């Protein structure tokens, strides 16, 4: 199999099918549309070639060109994903692409997607069928004048009853309304037009056939006509952060957890990783030695200050059994969750999710020499507060660099996009310093000056202090210093009325 024709769904990346995600992860070439959610491209391997053939207004890519690309890469034996908005075979010209592949003798597979014809009305709270109102629905295109004037019998559709779903019909909505009224539908027939359905930008406009032409609509919009359009079972547009754009500065490997929480509330996360996680300066040699000592029971406690520290340490442990009777202390719930995913329940999680909080909650050492050793595995640039405080309490402390946070390169374009967002989330002091350093570098290179979004959200006091020292005004700080606390605090500030 060399070519997959994949339906990406109407816009919400979480509506991609399991099969679609599977083939994307194995793709060598992704030929994608404008309407496919951009974040879906991240599912493909970094090495995969990405070719944008989006048919944007003013610069369309001819279908023949797209067919030729599919044939070219398919004939070369590459694993090709043709990523299309909605469903490939519902006004997606997937049939034309399949015919071109078949004519060239290239194997292909169709991976159906959720069509905007049913998903967008659902996201607007409009069922396309409803007992007592509509027992059928028709999907029709209003894209071209020829389709409106000659290919579609609008009068017959009006007489047939049920729900009419018009895709790509904004430009010809006046003529469509007139033809349907001429066919017998009442001018008062309810209509709802949904722009960018299932995306954070979704907006619904409610009118009737008489007012459809004058309604302020823009493509891409899905137009639903019929009695069901009078129902208002909205749920998506009630999400508190709908349409808000929030910059996520976490490392790429960790961004999805925060982005997912924001997306569930209706926000559009803009992932701009300001840091990347790398191995310790010694390549992990000291951590490997410490892990062996853990397995021999030489430490009474191990302290982990981040999820990255958990991952780094467990890279050198056989499994959870290596911890034996060693107590495990963590700074906060996020680190505890990372530990739990490894099958270990933290013995100590302080009420305050900072090093000072862990130090306050930490027990005094056992008088016996075997009960006085503590391993602190942390980032290279971590504050020495915990290690120094434990040493003053009488503990024998081994501080080991588990990983390094390094600045990630940020393009002026990414920074300019971030500046247009409603808010930015900082989850560590290193994300603050790296982001601001990138801003200074961009300004020094003569690039257009980008600014920090108006709302600055911090995950906790250490991050907030780093932001303030850098001259930022912290709008909100999470009461509970984890991702849920951060999102909760941000929601209170950005919540739509």
**Could you tell me if 6 and 83 are in contact, meaning their C-beta atoms sit under 8 angstroms apart?**
yes
List 301's β-bridge partners, or say none. 327, 374
SS3 341: coil
Instruction: Please give the Cα distance from 481 to 158 (Å, whole number).
Output: 57
Q: Is the peptide bond before 220 cis (omega within 30 degrees of 0)?
A: yes
In this structure, how many other beta carbons lie within 10 angstroms of the beta carbon of residue 230? 16
Select which of 42, 52, 55, 337 is catalytic.
55
Our CA angle for 462, 310, 268, nearest 5°, is 60
**Could you tell me if 327 and 373 are in contact, meaning their C-beta atoms sit under 8 angstroms apart?**
no
To the query of whether residue 33 is one of the catalytic residues in this protein, the response is: yes
Nearest one of 292, 208, 220, 247 to 417, comparing CA atoms? 247
SS3 268: strand
Nearest-10 crossing angle of helices 429-444, 461-469? 20
DSSP for 63-110, please give it: HHHHHHHHHHHHHTT--EEEEESB-TTSSS-HHHHHHHHHHTT--EEE
| Torsion on CA atoms 388, 391, 396, 398, rounded to nearest 10 | 0
Query: CA of 337: how far to CAs of 258, 359, 477, in Å?
Result: 14, 20, 21
Order the strands of the 80-84 sheet from edge to edge.
49-52, 29-32, 80-84, 3-7, 108-111
Query: CA of 9: how far to CAs of 6, 40, 85, 100, 301, in Å?
Result: 9, 11, 5, 23, 49
Select which of 12, 33, 87, 398 is catalytic.
33
Our CA angle for 89, 93, 95, nearest 5°, is 60
Instruction: Annotate 2-39 with b (16+ C-beta within 10 A) or e (fewer).
Output: bbbbbbbbbbbbebbbeebeebbeebbbbbbbebbbeb
Select which of 12, 84, 87, 168 is catalytic.
168
To the query of whether residue 168 is one of the catalytic residues in this protein, the response is: yes
**Could you tell me if 337 and 309 are in contact, meaning their C-beta atoms sit under 8 angstroms apart?**
no
**Could you tell me if 27 and 115 are in contact, meaning their C-beta atoms sit under 8 angstroms apart?**
no
Task: Tell me the catalytic residues.
Answer: 33, 55, 168
């Amino acid at each position: 199999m060399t070519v997959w024709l994949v339906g990406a769904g109407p816009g919400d990346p979480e509506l991609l099918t399991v099969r679609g995600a599977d083939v994307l992860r194995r793709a060598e070439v992704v030929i994608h549309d404008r309407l496919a959610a951009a974040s879906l491209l991240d599912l493909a391997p970094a090495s995969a070639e990405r070719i944008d053939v989006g048919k944007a207004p003013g610069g369309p890519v001819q279908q023949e060109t797209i067919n030729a690309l599919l044939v070219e890469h398919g004939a070369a034996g590459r694993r090709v994903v043709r990523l299309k908005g909605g469903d490939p075979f519902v006004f997606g010209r997937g049939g034309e692409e399949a015919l071109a592949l078949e004519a060239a003798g290239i194997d292909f597979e169709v991976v159906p997607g959720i069509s905007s014809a049913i998903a967008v009305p659902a996201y607007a709270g409009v069922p396309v069928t409803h007992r007592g109102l509509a027992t059928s629905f028709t999907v029709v295109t209003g894209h071209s004048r020829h389709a409106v004037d000659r290919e579609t019998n609008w009068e017959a559709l009006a007489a047939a009853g049920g729900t009419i779903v018009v895709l790509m019909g904004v430009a010809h909505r006046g003529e469509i309304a007139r033809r349907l009224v001429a066919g017998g539908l009442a001018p008062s027939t309810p209509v709802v037009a949904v722009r960018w359905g299932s995306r954070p930008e979704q907006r619904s406009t409610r009118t009737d056939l008489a007012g459809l032409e004058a309604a302020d609509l823009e493509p891409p919009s899905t137009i639903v006509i019929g009695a069901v359009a009078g129902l208002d079972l909205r749920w998506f547009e009630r999400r508190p952060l709908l349409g808000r754009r929030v910059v996520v500065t976490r490392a790429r490997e960790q961004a999805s957890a925060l982005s997912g929480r924001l997306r569930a509330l209706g926000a559009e996360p803009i992932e701009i990783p300001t840091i990347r996680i790398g191995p310790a300066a010694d390549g992990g040699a000291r951590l490997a030695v410490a892990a062996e000592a853990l397995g021999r029971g030489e430490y009474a406690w191990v302290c982990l200050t981040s999820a990255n520290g958990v991952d780094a340490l467990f890279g050198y442990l056989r499994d959870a059994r290596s911890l034996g009777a060693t107590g495990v202390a963590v700074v906060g719930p996020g680190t505890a969750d990372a530990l739990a995913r490894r099958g270990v329940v933290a013995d100590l999680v302080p009420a305050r999710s900072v090093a000072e909080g862990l130090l306050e909650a930490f027990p005094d050492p056992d008088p016996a020499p075997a009960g006085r050793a503590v391993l602190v595995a942390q980032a290279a640039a971590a504050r020495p507060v915990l290690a120094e405080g434990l040493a003053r309490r009488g503990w024998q402390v081994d501080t080991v660099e588990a990983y390094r946070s390094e600045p990630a390169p940020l393009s002026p374009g990414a920074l300019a996009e971030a500046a247009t967002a409603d808010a930015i989330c900082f989850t560590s002091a290193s994300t603050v310093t790296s982001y601001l350093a990138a801003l200074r570098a961009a300004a020094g290179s003569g690039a257009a000056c980008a600014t920090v979004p108006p709302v600055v959200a911090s995950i906790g006091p250490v991050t907030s202090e780093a932001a303030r020292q850098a001259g930022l005004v912290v709008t909100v700080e999470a009461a509970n210093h984890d991702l849920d606390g951060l999102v909760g605090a941000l929601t209170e500030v950005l919540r739509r009325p």
